Chain A
Amino acid sequence: MSALREAFKEFTQYPSAIMGLLIIAALIMLSIYTVIAIPYSEGMRLWRGGEDIWIENPRNARPRWVNVFLKERLPETIIVNTPPGAAKLGKPLSGGLRALDMTLSFDYLYDAFPSEINLFLKAKFKENRPYVSFFWVTPDGRRIPLGERSVRGSERFSISLDRNLAQRLGRRPPEIGLFSGPDATIENAVPLKGRYQLQLEGFFFEESSDLEARLVVYGQVHGLAGTDHRRRDLIVALLWGTPVALAFGFLAAVGSTLTTLLIAAIGVWFGRWVDAAIQRVTEVNAILPVLPILIMIGIFYSRSLWVMLGAIILLSIFSLGIKTYRSILLQVKESPYIEAARTYGTGNFRIIFRYMIPRIIPVLIPQFVTLIPSFVFLEAGLAVLGLGDPVLPTWGKVVNDAYANGALYKGYYYWVLAPSVLLMLTGAGFALVGFALDRVFNPRLRTL
Chain B
Amino acid sequence: MTFIRLLRYVVLRAASLFITVVVGVYLAILIANMGGYVDEIRKAQIREQVGATMLADQKLRTMPPNEVRRVIDQQIALEETRLGLDRPFLLRSFAYLSDALTLSLGRAERLTSDKGSRQVRDIILERLPATLLLFGTADLIVFFTAIFVALFLSRRYGSWLDKTVVALAPTSSAPAWFYGIFLILIFASVFRILPFGGMVDVPPPESALEYGLSVLQHLILPVSAILVGSLFIAIYNWRTFFLIYSSEDYVEVAKAKGLPSGAIERRYILRPTLPPIITSFAFALISLWSGAIILETVFSWPGLGRLLFQAVGLFDTPVIIGSVVIYAYLLALTVFLLDILYALVDPRVKVGGEAGRSL
Query: Min CB distance, A255 to chain B, in Å?
Result: 19
Question: Quick one: CB contact mask for A388-421 with B, threshold 8 Å, 1 for yes?
Answer: 0000000000010001000011010100110010
Q: Which of A97-105, A235-243, A378-386 contacts B (4 or more CB under 8 A)?
A: A378-386
Given contacts A297-B31, A299-B320, A381-B175, contact A288 B185 (CB under 8 A): no
A361 adjacent to chain B (CB < 8 Å) = no
B328 adjacent to chain A (CB < 8 Å) = yes
Closest residue of chain A to B289 (Cβ to Cβ) is A289
A385 lies within 8 A of B294 (CB): yes
B178 lies within 8 A of A300 (CB): no
Query: Min CB distance, A406 to chain B, in Å?
Result: 10
Choose one: A283, A297, A411, A444; the contact of B189 (CB below 8 Å): A411
The answer for the CA separation of A416 and B313 in the assembled complex, in Å, is: 21
B44 adjacent to chain A (CB < 8 Å) = no
Q: Which residues of A are found within 8 Å of B17, using beta-carbon distances? A: 287
A-B contact count (CB 8 A): 149
A289 lies within 8 A of B328 (CB): yes
B281 adjacent to chain A (CB < 8 Å) = no
Closest residue of chain A to B293 (Cβ to Cβ) is A291
B324 adjacent to chain A (CB < 8 Å) = yes
Q: Chain B: how many interface residues by the 8 Å CB criterion?
A: 60
Q: Which residues of B are found within 8 Å of A386, using beta-carbon distances? A: 309, 312-313
B66 adjacent to chain A (CB < 8 Å) = no
B358 lies within 8 A of A323 (CB): yes
B312 lies within 8 A of A377 (CB): no
A287 lies within 8 A of B312 (CB): no
A245 adjacent to chain B (CB < 8 Å) = no
Q: Chain A: how many interface residues by the 8 Å CB criterion?
A: 53
B177 lies within 8 A of A384 (CB): yes
Query: Min CB distance, A439 to chain B, in Å?
Result: 10
B23 lies within 8 A of A288 (CB): yes
B323 lies within 8 A of A445 (CB): no
Q: Which of B32-40, B94-102, B135-143, B266-274 contacts A (4 or more CB under 8 A)?
A: B32-40
B220 adjacent to chain A (CB < 8 Å) = no
B169 adjacent to chain A (CB < 8 Å) = yes
Q: Which residues of A are found within 8 Å of B37, using beta-carbon distances? A: 300
B34 lies within 8 A of A301 (CB): yes
B355 adjacent to chain A (CB < 8 Å) = no
A290 lies within 8 A of B290 (CB): yes
Q: Which residues of A are found within 8 Å of B20, using beta-carbon distances? A: 283-284, 287-288
| Chain A residues at the B interface, C-beta cutoff of 8 Å | 16, 279-280, 283-284, 286-293, 295-301, 320, 323, 370, 373-374, 377, 380-381, 384-387, 399, 403, 408-409, 411, 413, 416-417, 420, 423-424, 427-428, 430-432, 434-435, 444-445, 448
Taking A292-B324, A424-B178 as given, write out 17 further A-B residue pairs in contact, using a Cβ cutoff of 8 Å, ordered by the A residue number: A284-B23, A286-B283, A292-B293, A293-B31, A299-B315, A323-B358, A373-B173, A374-B173, A381-B294, A384-B177, A384-B298, A408-B185, A420-B178, A428-B170, A431-B171, A445-B240, A448-B244
| Chain B residues at the A interface, C-beta cutoff of 8 Å | 16-17, 19-20, 23-24, 27-28, 31-32, 34-35, 37, 157, 167, 169-175, 177-178, 181-182, 184-185, 188-190, 196, 240, 243-244, 283, 286, 289-291, 293-294, 297-298, 308-309, 312-313, 315, 320-321, 323-324, 327-328, 331-332, 335, 358-359
Task: Jot down 8 A-B pairs with beta carbons below 8 A, ordered by A.
Answer: A289-B327, A289-B331, A291-B294, A292-B324, A295-B308, A320-B283, A381-B294, A430-B173
